[in-house]
Structure 1
Amino acid sequence: MKKNKYLFSFCALVLWIVSCETKNQQEDDVTAKDQIQHIDTRIGTKSWSGKSTLSQAELPQGHVYPGVGLPFAMTQITPQTTTKDIPYWWENEKIQGFRSTHYPNGASMSEYGSLTIMPLVGELKTTPEDRASSFSHGSELAQPHYYSIILDDYDIKAELTAVSKAKFLQFTFPKSNASHIVIDNPMAHGYFRVNPEKNEIEGYTDNTGRKGNKGYTGREFASYFVAKFSKPFEDFALVAKPDLSSTIELFPDGFRGEFYNNMELSGKPNLQRIDSSIDFEWSGAPASTINTDLFSVRYTGELIAKQSGQHTFYVTSDDGVRLFVNDTLVIDSWVNRGATTDDFSMNLKAGESYKIKIEYYDYYGGGTLKFGCAQPASLNASKLMQMAINGAEASAVHVSFKTEEDEKVQVKIGTSFINIAQARKNLESEINHWDFEKTAQATKEAWNKALEKIQIEGSEDQKKIFYTALQRSLLLPRNITEDGYHYSAFNGKVMPGMMYTDFSIWDTFRSEHPLLILLEPERVSEMITALLNSYDEGGWMPKWPSPGYSNIMHGTHADAVVADAYIKGIRDYDTEKAFGAMLKNGTTPGTGHYVARVGIIDYQKLGYVPTDRYGESAIRTLEFAYDDYCIAQMANAMGKEAVYKEYIKRSLYYINFLDPETKLVRGRNADGSWRSATDPSISGWAYGSDKDRENYFRNITLFAPHDVQGLANFMGGDEVLEAYLDHFFENDFYYVGDEYSMHSPYLYNYIGAPWKTQKLIRTLLNENFSSGPGGLPGNEDCGQMSSWYIFGSMGFYPTCPGSPTYQIGSPMFDKVSLKLSNGKQFTIIAHNNSQENVYIQSATLNGKSYTKSWIHHDDIMAGSTLEFEMGPKPNKEWGAKLENRHESVSKPISN
């Protein structure tokens, strides 16, 4: 009996221990599957305040916003603190509404197809500035699936959630006899139709102010919507849109234009002329005597007011613009940017004259300058209500009703780029209920499923930075496919098939797309299919579609995206078509509206892009050579030996733009002569101070990721390149937010000093990223900044996409696990890891000694375990021997 008693007690103890272990394991599993808890989407919404080496042309700002929606969603919804393209800035003190947005998160681009909705009580105010409410960041909750805020001026709690093409808003009102909701297009105007019987508003917002779409597609790129309300309307009406048709009548003498072949309006004008209106889109030069790029114009005119009252001036511009009224600066957007519309309102008196001056500069690509003045509108309330029922173009639409204390009013919005009927269909298919929490939970689960593919062991602060970065890496490009169709911004038609847009490929080929290869390989195939659909519909794979062609940036790095995927075994697309599109990039000049590789004919003939014929000649030459390397690698893998030999030879053309005297890039004319060693015309970014110029000369020189050994040989050997890199980093020429040289911290691996990469990468990660609102040191650039951080903190980086290898850095975390699509897991373990122990002492791969400073993609996909012993002092032998270094460009990489 006593024996049985002890046996029972022992069994109970065992069960209790097992139960505790099971409970702890379950709790760990819950934590591991709820990574969304670590994310704050406001990181990077404030300017970076840390150390930063920058050209004056770019500010250290993340350009991100706290958007809500699924991974790769067609639209997101975000609080709006400004009517500028970037919808949210931390420093702004008021919220103007909640914007359904297509702004590419983290890019210096333009908004398109936006729609903003704002709740308020009391006096009806319809303009964004008038209706804006104070708020406190302390009452904000910003996560990928849910955002909430208290609008202090109205005592309204606003909550947002969203899926891919639909969003769900919930407003908790106070008791009021005058509660309102206003909907508008913050960038221009829209078309609105109210159906009071169904508690619905439908319509579209156009693409006014956006460059490139009307001319390329035949119609403006519009975003259609259907908004369903949970509460009936007691009153509603439109807000009349500005009438710009009479602008010419207000300026009887037209506008005097003075054009300059510089961006500073300096010296004597190269052209003077009178224009009756200012309404231009220049795909080339504005006149035969004016530059295609890098020009400026000053327009002056005299406005004679026809009536008294509030007039609104509108200026749509590409790049920098300023507007003066009676010599007072009223619009100041003297910045390099995509096309957008600025406005300014003031009261004018009938019969009086006003001096108007508009100054504009064009950088590169297409140029846009449009000016209009809207006179006061005079429509009564009855007419505006009838217009709302019938549907009309307007600045805004508003509805009103009474609310009780803490009454929730819900709004569901479906969107489409095809038509209103498809917007309604998208809403019904994605949110066919009125359960706000249900939608928020579904989006949360989708994010957790995506985020749990990488597990890290680190502090809470580290997890906050890491998982916010991972979330940002899973936002773009956006999937705009709707029921198997898409509206094409390349031919203006509704087309069958897959489409993604907002590819910031010049940025994202470097690490964003390689990260997606590891985490989302099926989606990578979809993205490449979308690029090929763009090729079919417009003639080219795009460089920076947002949503259609733009001429932004230099190389055709879709070549790198495709080649990297193909080399790494992702081939679920038309590979022959893809290869043909790449060859077109490498041989054919672009058309009038799409330039592809600028100077490609001269590049093929001379072996470089001549400075006296083309802007950005240095980086074009180096990037064309890298793209040729990618074409060569894909040709080699496809068994196309002749093409491989041709393009691997062309991949070495970068040497032709490196000056044997200075060992830096240097301007070179078509006749082969070198320009001055300090001539800044090689790059539009190299103008400004001497430090600006040297900064870009030194950064661009390092862009030979496919032939680092060749670069070292040119400079005089490994030791010379090592000294160059030492000087480069020690004198703050490196900027982590500048894509030109994002790969450069890893270049020490190629020349026998990997321990310097280890130290440097840990320092850069720790000093340049934080968990606060100013936590990004520069533009997020559609996931590139974040993916650079993700790879770096895990301990390896794809220095040269198109090669199936990754350079090893210094893992920040004790353990990282990647769940691969093939069901296997790649694990990195760093023993004795700490802030001080940043140096690799030794390594093993699957238990066997590993001495290479790089790892092959196949080893990762095999589900291996890479272990490091870390220490406070460098082991200068590990990875440094010649046989353990990365192989040269002319040889295929062996495993």
Structure 2
Amino acid sequence: MTTPACAYPTQSIGHQYYTAKMMLACLLALLLLPRLASAQARRKGPATKATKAVTKQPVDYVNVFTGTSNSRWALFPGPTVPFGMVKLSPDNQGQVWTAGYEYTVSSISGFSHLHAFGLSGLSVMPATGHLENLNQTKTYPGEPDGPFGTMWTAGYRSRFDKRTEHAAPGYYGVKLTDARTKAELTATTRTGWLRFTFPETGNRQGDENSSGPARILFDFDFPTEEQVAIQKVQVRQVSPTELEGSIQQKSSYPDQYTVYFVTQLSKAADSLSSWQTPPYTGTATTYGTAFRNPATIRNNIKEFEGKNDCGVWLSFHTKAGEQVVMKSGISFVSVAQARLNLETETKPYGFNFDAVAAAGRREWSELLGRVEVTGWSEAHKETFYTNLYRAYTGRAIMSDVNGQYTDACEKTQQLSAPADATYSSDSFWGTQWNLTPLMTLLTPAKANSWVNSFLALYDSGGWIPDAPVGLEYSAVMGAQHHKSLIVSSYQKGIRGFDVNKAWAATKHDLTTPGQAGPCGGYVGNRQLGPYLQYGYVPDEDGASSNTLEYAYDDYVASQFAQALGKTDDQAYFAKRALSYKNQFDPQTGYMRRRKRDGSWVSPVNIHKFGTVGDWNSSGWMEGTAWIYSFFVPQDVPELVRMVGQKRFNQRLEEGFARGYVDLSNQPNMQAPFLFNYSGKPWLTQKYSRYVMSKFYNTSPLSGWVGEEDEGQLSSLYVLFAMGLFEMDGGTAVRPTYDLSSPLFNRIVLHLDKKYYGGRTFIIEAKDNSETNIYIQSATLNGQLLARPLLAHADLVKGGTLVLQMGPQPNMGWGLGQ
């Protein structure tokens, strides 16, 4: 078993929320050690015939349960494929911030098909036995934390034994105690598959001597992270083996969207029934039935239309051990498109559930196998490949197999290249240090596809959204850091997109003040107007951190312009990129809040954290003045000069010692690598190793020191473990990696064939160990490296980087010219 949550130090890198979270995780770990000890055994796919022992593949090291306690909606144990639309997974929480799956809750309320940030829909649950309980019909989940007995069984929720829960990339399975049914899940990009193994059941409704039929419930209004209003539901039974329908939803992120589905079954249903529950207007009297009115039930129907709390179920008569396979195609365009997705992606399989699970495993195996690591423990490999897996699970394809998608104005659009895709995600805030370098290095085709998605949304909406949740213009976080992915892709030779359009979009978004979106939401930078007027964002207008983030984006644009030979634009944005100096107080050596008249805001509290909704009063977006005083990724040497090298290093070392450095969140992810620029590269080696050893593990109760954020903390770990980083997000005309101490003795990168010629790059860390963390010397293809830098162009040529490791810092290495 890997490091338990209790191993975390009390002096943590991160703010107090995560310290409290880890204390809670520690207590839970003590209570759940037996469950955690059995977690290793439960990480497996569908049962197969016994075979001889084989060498473990990268996919075998993935622990899909990592961090699934107190996690958010987009971190789930169920199956998906890389950036899959369908993320089919068990849910067991109520309507809370961490809705979805909670590892410590031993019950399940449903298996829903969508778990990307802000998106949800189509929850399915098997059930057996009578529907009636406490004068109610079991057409709702029930409470996740209720006691056993009549209160617990008020809804259709089912308990399960943790020992029966098994999962791996592409598969999830569990035996449901109350439902007396085994449920198994797998998925393709746009379809979700469930295989239910039912007990023997009757089919006589209302017969007291009958066990009742087996049922598959479709709940359209179930707890999610975002408060979702179900505005309209339509369902039609096409045949005893097929349903089709739509769910029109409204939430905070995105505003409004419709989920279309077509479900096909391997066994004909006896009947279709529905429920509709009116809003509760009375007083709660019985736990488990609070805030609910009796549902209106309709049996033997062919069509259903409802809203809010409603759903349908299919009834079956089953023999003991009989399996029913259901597969559902999902689309955000139309029922016809959902059917097309279903037919296209499942045609090779029929109802062969195991073949689909095997295909999902192969897809993950190919991606994870692009990096081979050797040396150190099996636990370290588990952490590495789990993080590499998570980097590609959170964000989601939104377009259909033929390239159709629904834009922010609810209009159907068509991609010019159907093989491309559009994607939904949380904000790209901070991704210049994690997802961008990882994607452009390991999966350049996916990076190229993301760029084309941005440009498609620019075509239809006139702007590139920083947070394209549901392909809409969601106002999440700030700045325009998705531009880093566009520019880094171009600088690395990933250019399968309209370069002129990419430049036009970049220039437009960075020169046009933010405004209301064309069909809701918000586009552009909110404080761009005052930023351009004053050269910084005044305290009266917004968070001071925006000055620093806007200046970084300006640098990114200047590098793009330089690469394209646009001299005037390059000079214009390069000048704007120096705006960070206007936020810098030379007397204190810190970034400070500044008023419109140029005076500094007093008193100064460099450690006041800017929480969500309080950025303006604190001045710093999810950070502190101390943290943002190091946020100049485009010009670190100049920042060191301005602060003073000695003072810069003293502050940064103190920050690691006292917990001022916040590795749980985006603004400070670069902190360990700053020492490469301040004359102490051995401290980059020390602290990058420290971060990996102390703030990552594969425990279900922790996993990450903060919110994993749809692949951001995961990507960061993978880069740290390879000893690679890109301070400026890889956006310079000649992109360069910052080097540090790799975790493994040998790392083999199998580079992309189309973009990088299919070459191999090897990183060897000689005499590497838990204590030998310092680089003594380095060679690239036999030639000495005097500085901790590696050009991207040299890496993708293939070759070998050899690092001689030792237990003490070599203070003479890494300072050469």
TM category (shorter chain) comes to 0.7 to 0.9
Decide whether the 8 Å contact of 2:765 with 2:805 is kept in 1.
Answer: yes
TM-score (norm 2): 0.82
After the TM superposition, which of the residue ranges 118-127 and 781-790 deviates more from structure 2?
A: 118-127
Instruction: Check the 8 A contact 1:113/1:205 in 2, yes or no.
Output: no
Aligned residue in 2 for 1:568: 492
Instruction: State how far apart, in whole Å, the 2-side matches of 1:693 and 1:196 are.
Output: 51
| Corresponding residue for residue 135 of structure 2 | none
Shift of 1:486: 2.9
1:523 paired residue number:
446
Pick closer, same or farther for the CA change 1:648–1:36 going to 2, 3 Å. Answer: same
The match for 2:215 is 180
Please give the secondary structure, in 2, of the residue aligned with 1:506: coil
* 1:44 and 2:67 matched: yes
Pairing of 1:678-827 with structure 2 (within 5 A): 678=604, 683-684=610-611, 696-716=624-644, 718-773=645-700, 774-801=702-729, 802-803=731-732, 804-821=735-752, 822-827=757-762
Amino acid in the other structure paired with 1:789 = Y
Matched, 1:442 2:359: yes
Partner of 2:624, secondary structure, is: helix
8 A contact 2:73–2:101 mirrored in 1? no
Aligned partner letter, 1:759: K
Question: Are residues 1:852 and 2:787 paired?
Answer: yes
1:630 aligns with 2:565: no
Count of aligned pairs between the two proteins: 706
1:353-502 equivalent positions in 2, closer than 5 A: 376=293, 379=296, 381-382=298-299, 385-386=300-301, 388-389=302-303, 391-393=305-307, 395-432=310-347, 433-458=350-375, 459-497=377-415, 498-502=421-425
Give the direction of change, closer, same or farther, for the CA distance of 1:562–1:693 in structure 2 (3 Å limit). closer
C-alpha spacing 1:118/1:869, structure 2 compared with 1 (3 Å): same
1:602 aligns with 2:530: yes
**What is the identity, as a one-letter code, of the residue corresponding to 2:482?**
A
Find the partner of 2:262 among 226, 231, 251: 226
Decide whether the 8 Å contact of 1:554 with 1:619 is kept in 2.
Answer: no
Greater CA drift, 707-716 or 812-821: 707-716
Q: Could you tell me how far 1:612 is from its partner in structure 2?
A: 0.9
Say yes or no: does 1:100 pair with 2:35: no
User: Normalized against structure 1, the TM-score is what?
Assistant: 0.75
Distance apart, 1:507 and its partner CA: 3.2
Deviation of 1:311 after TM superposition, in Å, equals 11
Do residues 119 (structure 1) and 126 (structure 2) align? yes
What is the rounded CA distance, in whole Å, between the counterparts of 1:472 and 1:847 in structure 2? 35
The alpha carbon displacement at 1:772 in A equals: 1.4
Q: Distance in 2 between matches of 1:221 and 1:756?
A: 49
Deviation by residue 1:738-769 (Cα, 9 ceiling, x = unmatched): 11010111000011100011011111100111
Are the counterparts in 2 of residues 63 and 86 from structure 1 also a CA contact under 8 Å? no
Q: 1:871 and 1:776, CA in 2 relative to 1: closer, same or farther beyond 3 A?
A: same
Checking the alignment, whether the CA contact within 8 Å between 1:202 and 1:420 is kept in structure 2 is yes
Note the alpha carbon deviations across 1:345-366, whole angstroms, 9 max, x for none: 636xxxxxxxxxxxxxxxxxxx
Per mean C-alpha deviation after superposition, the further-off stretch among 184-193 and 569-578 is 184-193
Identify the range of structure 1 (133-142 vs 222-231) with the bigger mean alpha-carbon deviation.
Answer: 133-142
Alpha-carbon distance between aligned partners in 1 of 2:710 and 2:199, rounded to the nearest angstrom? 39
Which residue type is aligned with residue 401 of structure 2?
D
Gaps of 5+ in 1: 1-26, 48-59, 105-109, 214-219, 245-304, 313-329, 331-343, 348-373, 884-895
* 1:153-232 map, 5 Å: 153-177=178-202, 178=212, 179-185=214-220, 186=222, 187-189=228-230, 191-195=233-237, 197-213=239-255, 220-232=256-268
Aligned to 2:84: 73
Partner of 1:132: 157
| Conserved 8 A contact 2:139-2:295 | no
Q: Does residue 587 of the first structure (1) align with residue 501 of the second (2)?
A: no
Aligned to 2:802: 867
Q: CA 1:595/1:609 → structure 2, altered by over 3 Å: closer, same or farther?
A: farther
Shift of 1:103: 2.4
- For the 8 Å contact 1:504–1:781, the answer to whether it is kept is no
| Higher Rg of the two aligned structures | 1
Maintained 8 Å contact 1:192/1:397: no
Aligned ranges 1:836-847 → 2 under 5 Å: 836-847=771-782
**Cα distance in 2 for residues equivalent to 1:745 and 1:62:** 30
- What aligned pairs does 1:299-310 form with structure 2 within 5 A after superposition? none
Mean CA deviation greater in 872-881 or 675-684: 675-684
- Would the aligned equivalents of 2:340 and 2:401 in 1 still touch at CA under 8 Å? no
One-letter amino acid of the structure 2 residue matched with residue 447 of structure 1: W
| 1:833 is aligned to 2:756 | no
Q: What one-letter code is carried by the residue in structure 1 that aligns with 2:86?
A: T
Secondary structure of the equivalent of 2:324? strand
Instruction: Give yes or no for contact 1:825–1:863 (8 Å, CA) kept in 2.
Output: yes
Tell me which moved more, 442-451 or 77-86: 77-86
Quick one: distance in 2 between partners of 1:820 and 1:772? 31
- Does the C-alpha gap of structure 1 residues 380 and 231 become closer, same or farther in structure 2, counting only changes over 3 Å? same
How many Å separate the matches in 1 of 2:179 and 2:294? 29
SS in 2 for 1:482: coil
1:79 and 1:138 mapped to 2: Cα distance? 16
Deviation at 1:648, TM superposition (A): 1.0
Structure 1 residue 131 displacement after superposition: 1.2
Unaligned runs of 5+ in 2: 1-50, 132-137, 143-154, 203-211, 223-227, 416-420
Question: How many Å apart are 1:499 and its aligned residue?
Answer: 1.4
Task: String of CA shifts for 1:262-284, please: whole Å, max 9, x gaps.
Answer: xxxxxxxxxxxxxxxxxxxxxxx
Q: Matched residues in 2 for 1:791 and 1:237: separation? A: 51
More moved, 808-817 vs 794-803: 794-803
Say if 1:63 and 1:779, in contact at 8 Å, map to a contact too: no
Contact between 1:113 and 1:206, CA under 8 Å: does it hold in 2? no
For the residue of structure 1 that corresponds to 2:393, the secondary structure is coil
Separation in structure 2 between the aligned mates of residue 757 and residue 225 of structure 1, nearest angstrom: 50
Cα shift readout 1:336-379 (whole Å, capped 9, x = no counterpart): xxxxxxxx9636xxxxxxxxxxxxxxxxxxxxxxxxxx8x4674
Distance 1:209 1:475 in 2: 22
Contact 1:551 1:596 in 2 (8 A): no
How many angstroms does 1:491 deviate by? 2.4
User: What amino acid sits opposite 2:761 in the alignment?
Assistant: F
Q: Secondary structure at the match of 2:351?
A: coil
Letter in 2 for 1:816: I
The residue that corresponds to 2:574 in the other structure is: 648
Q: How many angstroms apart in 1 are the aligned matches of 2:622 and 2:461?
A: 39
Change (3 A) 1:816 1:378: closer
Structure 1 residue identity aligned to 2:789: W
Deviation at 1:523, TM superposition (A): 1.9
Q: Name the aligned partner's letter for residue 75 of structure 2.
A: V
TM-aligned CA distance change 1:542 to 1:800, over 3 Å: same
For residues 693 and 439 of structure 1, do their structure 2 counterparts lie closer, same or farther at Cα, with a shift above 3 Å needed? closer
Bigger proportion of residues as strand: 1
**Contact map agreement 2:74 2:710 (CA 8 A) in 1:** no
Contact 1:157 1:171 in 2 (8 A): yes
Residue pair 1:488, 1:537 contacting (<8 A) in 2 also: no
Please give the root-mean-square deviation of Cα atoms over the aligned residues, in Å.
2.8
Partner residue in 1 for 2:466: 543
d(CA) in 2 for partners of 1:799, 1:117? 45
Q: Rate the CA distance shift 1:611–1:151 in 2: closer, same or farther, 3 A.
A: same
- Equivalent position SS for 1:147: strand
Amino acid at match of 1:811: P
CA distance in structure 2 between the aligned counterparts of 1:565 and 1:721, rounded to whole angstroms? 32
**Shift in Å at residue 193 of structure 1?**
2.3
